[in-house]
């Protein structure tokens, strides 16, 4: 009799995992299909193309290989280490059927900023401009694509080998987030939609899909979703408010001049781009801390479902306090690392404090870092409250989950 019961339990366990795997596979396929649909629909969101041809000035770019360095006149830069400046004459072979000759002569000036020193066999990108029957060629950059693809392959392999099926789900979620950024948020902004609204829409979609993929559709996931959305929106609102109060609207960004030319041909609203960047930048950190708090709450409640609301909330806050320090530090360091060259320039200038603290660039970086960190901090009590409320107000659902867990473990 006991063997028969064990056999039934084992069969139930196998069926549970089989159904779970089937649901996860269906969800992954659904997310991939939705991502492809977004790529297709992006052309109808913004029909003008992402960059009008006038910005490329009819320049076409081709992969090529340096077949020979005919001559060069190079000297070491007296101030910069491992930098040579001067001039090269090179022959390149273009990998395209549009060019029938074996090789083409290109003059390659090498300066501090435009420092592309090549040798025989170097893979490069060539810019070709056809004008009035004449062809002008110049060396645009190194061809780094193969190494980039290799790095992507190493990343994917590492995630799959170590994370297994959950790693695959994480990669699908990352893929979906990137698709939302490029093929939903950007076309909406170019169409003239407010960048903050476009950022919130993209962030919300990314949060929902990512957390459902990682943790399934349950109350723990719902708690993390609501906590993350709240934290991200708070970050954006604080950034917008203090950007307005400090007269930093996004027109002060280093890329603003280039963006104004794009705005001439599209409906792009530059003023909200800075705050949208903060939404996207803080998304990962807020999602991380919200999921950690949510998981902790439901694990505590699973162990002791008689715990009171106040005790459960206090435990969740204690866990949140431990993670706040590292998460805020992570976000601040991420912004600091991305602006390291700005920090070096400011420090080297040795300017008065009242001038330094009022620099546009520094103000933008401070608002970005601190508003994102405030969003992380406030996401802790919000997520804790939502999680505790859901635990204490729908016990029957949790009991059913608990019975399933016991059956699986026996």
The pLDDT tens digits for 143-182 are: 999 999 999 999 999 999 998 888 888 899 999 999 999 8
In whole angstroms, give the CA distance from residue 290 to residue 203.
14
**Main-chain dihedrals φ then ψ at residue 51, nearest 5 degrees:** -140, 115
Helix/strand number for the chain, H first, E second: 13, 5
Kindly report, residue by residue over 278-318, the tens digit of the pLDDT. Answer: 788 888 888 888 998 999 999 998 888 888 888 999 999 99
User: 3-class SS at 67?
Assistant: strand
Beta strands (DSSP E) in 120-160 are: 123-131, 134-142
Beta carbons within 10 angstroms of residue 264's beta carbon: 9
Tell how far CA 223 is from the center of its chain: 22
Rounded to the nearest integer, the mean pLDDT of the chain is 81
Provide the β-strand partners of residue 94: 64
Tokens encoding 123: 């893979």
Residue 400 scores a pLDDT above 50: no
Give the pLDDT confidence score for residue 405 in this predicted structure. 37
Q: How confident is the model at residue 124 (pLDDT cuts 50, 70, 90)?
A: very high
Integer CA distances (angstroms), 23 to 28, 37, 126, 357, 409, in order: 9, 21, 48, 53, 21
| Polymer length in residues for the chain | 410
Q: What angle, 0 to 180 degrees and rounded to 10, lies between the N-to-C axes of helices 145-180 and 2-45?
A: 90
pLDDT band at 250 (very low <50, low <70, confident <90, very high): low
Give the span between the Cα atoms of 251 and 240, in whole angstroms: 13
Alpha-helix runs per DSSP H in 216-272: 219-245, 256-265
Q: For residue 132, give the DSSP letter.
A: T
pLDDT higher than threshold 80 for residue 339: no
54 pLDDT tier (thresholds 50, 70, 90): low
Report how far residue 352's alpha carbon sits from residue 354's, in angstroms, rounded to the nearest whole number: 6
- For the stretch 186-239, pLDDT in tens is 888 888 888 888 888 898 899 999 888 888 888 899 999 999 999 988 888 888
pLDDT at 175: 92
The predicted pLDDT at position 156 comes to: 94
Q: Which of the four pLDDT bands, split at 50, 70 and 90, describes residue 74?
A: confident
Q: Which of 47, 41, 52, 56 minimizes the C-alpha distance to 263?
A: 52
The better pLDDT of the pair 277, 55 is held by 277
Contacts (Cβ under 8 Å, ≥6 apart) of 157: none
Q: What is the pLDDT of residue 406?
A: 38
Q: How far is the CA of 290 from the CAs of 47, 311, 378, 384, 395, in angstroms?
A: 37, 19, 10, 8, 22
pLDDT value of position 149: 94
C-alpha to C-alpha distance for 144 and 138, rounded to whole angstroms:
17
């Amino acid at each position: 009799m006991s063997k028969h019961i064990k056999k039934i339990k084992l069969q139930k366990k196998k069926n549970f995992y089989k159904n779970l795997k089937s649901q996860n596979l269906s969800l992954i396929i659904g997310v991939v299909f939705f991502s492809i649909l977004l790529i297709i629909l992006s052309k109808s969101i913004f029909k003008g193309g992402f960059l009008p041809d006038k910005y490329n000035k009819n320049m076409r770019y081709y992969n090529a290989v340096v077949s020979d360095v005919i001559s060069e006149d190079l000297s070491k830069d007296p101030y910069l280490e491992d930098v040579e400046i001067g001039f090269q004459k090179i022959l390149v072979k273009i990998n395209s059927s549009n060019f029938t000759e074996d090789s083409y002569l290109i003059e390659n000036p090498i300066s501090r900023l435009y420092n592309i020193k090549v040798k025989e066999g170097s893979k490069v990108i060539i810019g070709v401009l056809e004008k009035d029957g004449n062809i002008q060629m110049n060396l645009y950059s190194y061809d780094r694509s193969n190494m980039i693809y290799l790095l992507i392959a190493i990343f994917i392999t590492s995630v799959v080998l170590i994370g297994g099926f959950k790693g695959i789900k994480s990669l699908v979620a990352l893929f979906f987030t990137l698709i939302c950024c490029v093929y939903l948020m950007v076309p909406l902004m170019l169409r003239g939609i407010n960048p903050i609204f476009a950022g919130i829409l993209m962030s919300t979609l990314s949060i929902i899909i990512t957390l459902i993929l990682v943790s399934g559709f349950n109350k723990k996931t719902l708690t993390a979703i609501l906590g993350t959305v709240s934290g991200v929106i708070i970050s954006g609102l604080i950034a917008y408010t203090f950007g307005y109060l400090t007269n930093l609207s996004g027109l002060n960004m280093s890329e603003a001049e280039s963006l104004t030319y794009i705005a001439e041909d599209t409906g792009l609203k530059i003023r909200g781009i800075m705050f949208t960047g903060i939404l996207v930048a803080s998304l990962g950190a807020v999602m991380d801390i919200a999921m950690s708090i949510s998981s902790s709450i439901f694990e505590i409640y699973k162990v002791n479902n008689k715990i009171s609301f106040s005790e459960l909330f206090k435990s969740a806050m204690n866990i949140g306090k431990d993670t706040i320090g590292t998460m805020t530090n992570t976000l601040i360091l991420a912004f600091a690392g991305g602006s390291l060259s700005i920090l070096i320039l400011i420090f080297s200038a040795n300017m008065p404090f009242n001038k330094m603290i009022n620099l546009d660039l520094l103000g933008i970086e401070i608002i970005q870092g601190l508003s994102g960190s405030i969003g992380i901090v406030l996401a802790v009590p919000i997520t804790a409250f939502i999680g505790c409320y859901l635990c204490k107000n729908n016990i029957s659902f949790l009991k059913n989950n608990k019975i399933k867990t016991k059956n699986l473990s026996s």
